[in-house]
Amino acid sequence: MAAKAGEFTIPLAKMSIKPVPGRVDSKGIVSSIFLSLAMIGLLQFAERLDTFFFGGLFPVAGRIISITMIGLGTMLYGLVGGIIVADINPLIATATGTSPIAPFWLLTNAAQAVCAWLVGARFKNVISWPCVVAYTVAASVVLVAMYIPLHVFYFKMPWQKMLNLYAFQTLLSIPVPAIFLRGLLGVIRNAGFVEE
């Protein structure tokens, strides 16, 4: 079914019109892996800020990048692609010794992919502000919800005293990734990577 100009369901998915599993051919899988590697590279620039925020307990910069890139992967390649972007990252970060606590992010990253999938499925055009903002809001809220058990059960933190920090994280992780993601999707479309 040909899409009208400016209207897409999943922009790059040629193999499957359904967001689940999405595009799971070689191109979909390899592209997802490469987006994950790009994410690892970009996270270098997040390191200083996140170390300042309690050694990575309340990542801000890393969250901005992960929400952006995982959202990008899911919206381009579907749920499986998004999960590849999300979960290859922590595994590689651990395997290359760049972040030994990265495995904690396996679930939290996968949750972002699920958010992107659920939100993207409700919009005809994912390359739009309503879609990306809805996704970043959903991802930010879900991440706070997931980090509370992590902080409480694993790190034994008094979560009630952390509310200001959660609020600060959420405040930044909604608008900034939305701007980045919308920009990236637009650039990718204009660069001709979109397939009908």
Partner 1 sequence: MPILSVRNLTFTYPGVTEPALAGVSFDVERGECLAIFGAAKSTLCLCLAGAIPHLISGQMEGEVIVDGLLTRAVRLPELATKVGMVLQDPENTLFNITVGGDVVFGMENLGVPRDEMAARMEEAMTLVGLAGFHARMSHELSGGQKQRASVAAVLAMRPSILILDEPTRELDPLGTEEVFGLLARLKERGTTIVIVENDPDHVAPLADRMLLLRHGRVEVLAPPREFYARVRDDPKIRFPQVTELYLALQGRAALPGRIPITLEEGIETLGPLYRRVCH
Partner 2 sequence: MARLLYTFALEGRSWVTRLHPMTMATLVLSVAIVAFSTLHLGVLGATLLVLLLFMVVGRLPTRTTLAPMVLILPLCFFITLIQTLARPEGIVASWNLLGREITISAVGFILGLRITLRVVLLAMILTIFFTVVHPAKFTKALCDLRVPFKYAYSFTLALRFLPLMLEELATIKNAQQSRGYDIDQVNPFLRVFRIFPLMVPLVLIALRRASTIALALDLRAFDARPDRTFFVDVNRGPLDLGLRAVGLSAAAVVLIAAIAGWL
Is residue 34 at the binding interface for partner 2, with CB under 8 A as the rule? Answer: yes
Between residues 1 and 191, which has the closer beta carbon with respect to partner 2?
A: 191
Q: How far apart are the first and last CA of the chain?
A: 9
Is residue 189 at the binding interface for partner 2, with CB under 8 A as the rule? Answer: no
Between residues 154 and 196, which has the closer beta carbon with respect to partner 1?
A: 196
Going by C-alpha positions, the residue among 94, 46, 52 that lies closest to residue 66 is 46
Between residues 65 and 174, which has the closer beta carbon with respect to partner 2?
A: 65
Which distant-in-sequence residues (6+ apart) come within 8 Å of 61 by Cβ?
45, 46, 47, 48, 49, 50
Between residues 4 and 58, which has the closer beta carbon with respect to partner 2?
A: 58
Going by C-alpha positions, the residue among 185, 171, 172 that lies closest to residue 71 is 185
Is residue 42 at the binding interface for partner 2, with CB under 8 A as the rule? Answer: yes
Which distant-in-sequence residues (6+ apart) come within 8 Å of 117 by Cβ?
19, 20, 74, 78, 79, 82
The secondary element (H helix, E strand) that includes residue 62 is helix 61-95
Is residue 7 at the binding interface for partner 1, with CB under 8 A as the rule? Answer: no
Q: Does residue 123 sit in helix, strand or coil?
A: coil
Residues numbered 10-29 forming contacts with partner 1, rule: CB under 8 A = 14
From the CB of 192, what's the least distance to partner 2, in Å? 10
Is residue 195 at the binding interface for partner 1, with CB under 8 A as the rule? Answer: yes
Residue identified by tokens 């970060």 is 93
State how far the Cα of 174 lies from the Cα of 28, in Å rounded to an integer: 27
Of these, 2, 95, 158, 196, which contacts partner 1 (CB under 8 A)?
196
Q: Which residues bind partner 2 (CB under 8 A)?
A: 24-27, 29-31, 33-38, 40-42, 44-46, 48-49, 51-52, 54-57, 60-61, 64-65, 68, 72, 84, 88, 91-92, 94-101, 103, 154-158, 161, 176, 180, 183-184, 187-188, 191, 193
